[in-house]
Amino acid sequence: MHPWIFDIALRKGTIELWAKEEGRTVCISEPFSHTFLAAFDDPSRNEMVIGELIDRHGAEPCRFRTVYGMHDGYRIHGGLPVAEALEQQAGYGLHLYNADVRTEQLYFAGNGRVPCSPGGGTPFSTDIDHPLSVLRVQPAGRPGRGGRLDAVTVTGSRRREVRGRSETQVVVDLCSVIGDEDPDLLLFHGVDGWADTLLRASEKAGIRLALSRTGRYRTLGEKSYISYGQMMHRPAAVIPEGRVLIDTDASFIYRKGGLEGVFLASRLTGLSPNLTSRFSPGTIVSRYEIARALAQGIAIPFRKADAEAPRCCKDVRLDYRGGTILQPDPAIHAGVTQIDFTSFYPSIIVRYNISPETLAHPERAGFLPSVIEPLLQFRYRTKQLKKADPLYAGMDAILKWMLVTCFGYTGYKNAKFGRIEMHEKITSLSSGILTSAMDLADAMGYPVLHGIVDCLWVEGVDASDLKAAIEDATQIPTEAEVYDWLVFLPANDGSGSYANYYGRLAGGRMKIRGVMARRKDTPPYVREMQEACFAVMEGARTPELLAARRDEVVGVYRRYLDGLLDAPPEAFVIRRRLSKIRYEKNGLSAGAVSAYRDAGISLSPGMEVEYVVRDAACHAVDPAWRAGTPDHAYYGRLLAKAWREVGFAFSYQDEGKKENGTIRGEGSTRPRTYQDTWTGQAELFRFARSDH
């Protein structure tokens, strides 16, 4: 029986595999050292450098493969420092490969092994069982708020409460519990934020912090970075040896995929769960591509030389125009079918053989399609499995995020297998595919209501023939959802919003997108009001029945409006991610930065802050954990804004407005403008209580 590997530690010339084998936790040491490849532009000019490489680093001539073809070069024993020194000595007259690939990825690819997998293992295993013993740790409070670690709940073989008069005592007792349980896996809420406290307290007590089985740690530094135009932040982290340590609060992969998602990411990338739980989906898919390339014997470039080929400005303007987005009429529609292309951009990569090397040689079988296709097939499989077993939902979620981000990486300048021309070609093809689908819909008698990149909304409750025709024409699978009624909301200028809509699906549940209930920065009180309104609306099968529920929905809004003064401060907490920490103009984000600094808490771009608005006019806010009296007038305006999104659906019930035209969809009418419709409603429900 093969060991179930769950952690990897590196030593000089050795790799240590922590694994479960026949119920026992074992540490297996195997000799292994990092090697990289070098191809010199002119070997004759670097004879002395090559000779030194042979003498000092055991370099040996070899022939290796990249996505562009075969190269002659040398295999050199050493890591990144050796590679960077070699670049300087050779005057950068060479190309390096595998220099910055993680050693464990080289090991797993070279030995045909897969972490977090039973038996010989496969990266695409759907196994959801694991043999690891688990301990859950839940500290009281959250780090980074000037609070103290004075209480911890630990759940393993039994539940225990760890308390003490000092942080040091709490940490000592916590380490004792961990030592008694000796778990393979620690699910520790907020551990990355508490790491400094834990290390400091253990040093003060003169004990070894029990998070690591060996007492040794690796560290990941904190990092602010931009992802899809949004500033993000990764906190500093302590990575133990011999145990998996997951921050259940900070880990995106764990929050979306659970343990099943973390272990799947480990199998696909050839990395420890300690790392995959802390990486973003973009990093996971990038490391997956590297792992698959190594498995195919393809060398990974150290410094990219193919980010973009020279082009004239005219071609750039023509090539880079993005996906197609239509603008819907802001209205309510009855009987609508939504047709979504499944994993649209990844499917285009596979369908049209898009890869760096195929741009100039489309006849070649592309590397990128060869690694994206099995990911797509795996996603189709997990989507079916999760219908029967919800445990597969975590795996499916991680595959979904990987496929979403793989398109973005085709245009990222540092992506190992990306070129901006690929990105442009994919969006160009997507635009043509959506346009063709629209033409098919029109030809088959399905009026198009809206379209956005990979999704089409048409009139009709049975568009199965259109769905089949689109799949036959594009060779890309689709999914369909039918709405009893659907509301496209207006933008601020009264025109149709591209991505803000909600409606009742034929199965009886609401689907909402883009409204305040879906926004992360919406206060809980406002979100609850909107969700309560939608819960009432969910019971109406037709626009006419929906209109009959108007008074009931208005009553929900009035109830929340009347209860505003009595709601606790925590109901008004706004959670927002900071794009920067220095602001030229005053605003609520600037106020939040000042409030956190006053509380002695340092911030970095991309961090999330939680605050309650105390005085919107002065941009004064309180940190959430020390909030005083909220600015009720400000929150009343937010409540009214959320109500306008809900109430827009009822602006069509007046039969006297039919002179403005009948919209597509049975029994629906279109108002003149969003502003005209809501002049009276805004006055009716205006925030008028003087004590607010």
Which tens digits make up the pLDDT trace of 431-468? Answer: 999 999 999 999 999 999 999 999 999 999 999 999 99
Banded pLDDT at 218 (limits 50, 70, 90): confident
pLDDT for the residue 439:
96
Asked whether residue 454 is domain-assigned, the answer is yes
Amino acid at 656: G
Give the domain range for residue 143: 134-293
pLDDT for the residue 688:
31
pLDDT for the residue 674:
26
Domain C-terminal end among 493, 514, 535? 514
Quick one: 325 and 205 in the same domain?
A: no
Asked whether residue 20 is domain-assigned, the answer is no
Quick one: 142 and 267 in the same domain?
A: yes
Residue 501, both tokens:
């809509």
Please state the φ and ψ torsions of residue 255, each to the nearest 5 degrees.
Answer: -60, -40
Q: Which distant-in-sequence residues (6+ apart) come within 8 Å of 39 by Cβ?
A: 64, 71, 72, 73, 94, 95, 97
Q: Which distant-in-sequence residues (6+ apart) come within 8 Å of 81 by Cβ?
A: none
Residue 418, both tokens:
């990306």
**Domain holding 482: CATH number?**
3.90.1600.10
Asked whether residue 183 is domain-assigned, the answer is yes
pLDDT for the residue 430:
94
Quick one: 245 and 328 in the same domain?
A: no
Quick one: 427 and 322 in the same domain?
A: yes
Residue 469: is it exposed, middle or buried by C-beta count within 10 angstroms (0-12/13-18/19+)?
Answer: middle
627/573 Cα distance (integer angstroms): 9
* Cα→Cα distances 104→125, 219, 600, Å: 20, 17, 40
Quick one: 325 and 433 in the same domain?
A: yes
State the total domains in the chain. Answer: 2
> Could you tell me what percent of the chain has a pLDDT over 90?
75
In this prediction the pTM is 0.89
Asked whether residue 561 is domain-assigned, the answer is no
* pLDDT per position as a tens digit, 666-692: 333 322 222 222 333 333 333 333 333
DSSP state for residue 358 in the 8-state scheme: G
* pLDDT per position as a tens digit, 77-110: 999 999 999 999 999 999 999 999 999 999 999 9
Domain C-terminal end among 293, 326, 361? 293
Tell me which of 314 and 430 has the higher pLDDT: 430
Give the angle 616-617-621 at the CA atoms, nearest 5°.
35
Quick one: 282 and 425 in the same domain?
A: no
pLDDT for the residue 275:
95
Q: Which residue has the tokens 């393979």?
A: 184
Banded pLDDT at 584 (limits 50, 70, 90): confident
Quick one: 218 and 335 in the same domain?
A: no
* pLDDT per position as a tens digit, 337-384: 999 999 999 999 999 999 999 999 999 999 999 999 999 999 999 999
Asked whether residue 431 is domain-assigned, the answer is yes
Quick one: 331 and 208 in the same domain?
A: no
Quick one: 144 and 275 in the same domain?
A: yes
Asked whether residue 630 is domain-assigned, the answer is no
Asked whether residue 411 is domain-assigned, the answer is no
123/129 Cα distance (integer angstroms): 15
Quick one: 324 and 229 in the same domain?
A: no
> Could you tell me what percent of the chain has a pLDDT over 70?
92
Residue 368, both tokens:
């990128």
Domain C-terminal end among 233, 260, 293? 293
**Domain holding 203: CATH number?**
3.30.420.10
Quick one: 272 and 211 in the same domain?
A: yes
Asked whether residue 690 is domain-assigned, the answer is no
> Is 320 a residue whose pLDDT tops 70?
no
Count CA atoms within 13 Å of residue 205 on its CB side: 21
Quick one: 232 and 323 in the same domain?
A: no
